[in-house]
Amino acid sequence: MLNWTSGGVCAPKGFTAAGVHAGVKAGSSADKKDLMLLFSEKPCAAWGMYTQNVVKAASVLWTRQALQNGAAQAVVANSGNANACCEQSGENAERMARAAAEQLGIAPEDVVVGSTGVIGQTINIAAIEQALPGCTEQLSRAGSDAAAQAIMTTDTVKKEEAVTVEIGGKTVTIGGISKGSGMIHPNMGTMLCFLVTDCAISKELVRTALQEAVRISFNRISVDGDTSTNDTCVLMANGMAGNVEITEKGEAYALFVEALSALCVKLARQMARDGEGAKHLITCTVSGARDEQSAETVAKSVIASSLTKAAVFGCDANWGRVLCAMGYSGESFDPERVDVTFSSENGAVDVCRAGRGLPFDEALARQVLSAGEVVIAVSMGEGDGCCTCWGCDLTYDYVQINGDYRT
């Protein structure tokens, strides 16, 4: 049984965090936190997953190399600058790691580095180095909130969750913070996500658990079809819960993956809901597909469709756009077996059956689509495959936010 709790990345035993204003972005407000630290008092088994964009930020390259040994003990991350596509980007990522390591008394290779913000502008590494001593002093068990705020860019709300689960008679806790609002598109979007746990679990299974959880969460969201250069999702496990170390895929591993996946889905939904300028969270559930992969491909195509997103923004039950997005997804299916229903807390309306439009109450449909979360349920009549993906509507505010993002 899963139990949701407070504390974010400081909920598991042995982890402290902090977030401060360093002034990474010139002219940023003094009350905008833009530098965070996350530290485990004991070394961790760790693994990461990263952007699939060919153009990768220096923080991604550093962290990917550092985690080759499956170990880490700290995270340092900034907002306000992506540290990507600039001269000395690699050197500056290393300087971040070394400065944090010096303050924490650990090796630079045990420090995960994350950056998010404008691409193509040289990062103010001096400001980060100057702020790290103060940030280190503020490390505490109550620091998750500040750390979550420090990685926000165009996010309007922080993303922070924690969950507990009983494994082998011990309470295991998993906590996470993440950011992501724009440049969100499978696989993973412009996101930083730092997951920590006090579970005792082998390095090999930390890797597979993270892969399983990301596959059904962060890799199933889309905001705008753009895949960032900086995506990083890292899981660190320090073993301080006291459970017998999980070294094989059995009941204990399944319980851990269930909790980790539930946490990641919660954070992923929050990212989609907080898409830049978004008014609606769109949940697309596909059932009756040939297999799960087919269902996922179709659902991703629907949530990524600009026309479908615009229709939801306008509370327009334009179901033809759903079928259109399904049709160009690349999956083969019989359109005359497809049913579509729109639903929300305000009710439900069937709009398509067997590939043909149904008469429906336009006023009811508009009421259904006016809710904060809209569910597009697609039944394909092809098999037993099913999948759920998440996106958001496309609004005027999205264009306005990104029209002058750099300046």
Residue 184: per-residue pLDDT? 46
User: Model's pTM, two decimal places?
Assistant: 0.91
Amino acid letter, residue 387 = C
CA 18 – CA 136 distance, rounded (Å): 7
* Helical ranges in 305-361 per DSSP H: 306-313, 320-327
Residue 182: per-residue pLDDT? 45
CA 203 – CA 89 distance, rounded (Å): 29
Residue 227: per-residue pLDDT? 53
Q: Are 5 and 174 in contact (CB under 8 A)?
A: no
φ, ψ dihedrals at 311, nearest 5°: -65, -40
Q: Report, as ranges of residue numbers, the positions in the chain whose pLDDT lies below 50.
A: 182-189, 225-226
Q: What are the percentages of helix, strand and coil residues in the chain, rounded to 5?
A: 35, 30, 35
Strand order from edge to edge, sheet including 339-344: 356-357, 347-353, 339-344, 373-379, 281-289, 385-392
Catalytic residue numbers read: 190
DSSP string, 47-98: EEEE---SS--HHHHHHHHHGGGSEEEEEEEEESB---SSTTHHHHHHHHHH
Query: Two tokens at 289?
Result: 């597909």
Q: Give the HSE-up count for residue 49: Cα atoms under 13 Å, Cβ half-sphere.
A: 23
Residue 199: per-residue pLDDT? 98
CA angle 4, 199, 265 (to 5 degrees): 40
CA 198 – CA 386 distance, rounded (Å): 33
Strands 170-179 and 159-167: antiparallel
The Cα-based distances of 407 to 40, 119, 224, 262, 335 in angstroms read: 37, 12, 20, 37, 46
CA 188 – CA 180 distance, rounded (Å): 10
pLDDT digits (tens, 9 = 90+) for 182-220: 444 444 445 899 999 999 999 999 999 999 999 999 989
- Cβ burial of 349 (10 Å; 0-12, 13-18, 19+) is buried
Kindly list the domain boundaries of the chain, sorted by start residue. 3-273, 281-403
Residue 55: per-residue pLDDT? 86
pLDDT digits (tens, 9 = 90+) for 172-187: 999 999 997 544 444 4
Contacts of 215 (CB under 8 A, 6+ apart): none
Q: What percent of the chain has pLDDT over 90?
A: 82
Closest C-alpha to 64, from 82, 52, 79, 78: 52
CA 292 – CA 9 distance, rounded (Å): 32
CA dihedral 299, 305, 311, 316 (to 10 degrees): -40
CATH for the stretch 281-403: 3.10.20.340
Residue 407: per-residue pLDDT? 57
φ, ψ dihedrals at 298, nearest 5°: -70, -45
Which class is 3-273 in CATH? alpha beta
DSSP for residue 321: H
CA 281 – CA 309 distance, rounded (Å): 10
Strands (E), 136-256: 159-167, 170-179, 192-197, 232-237
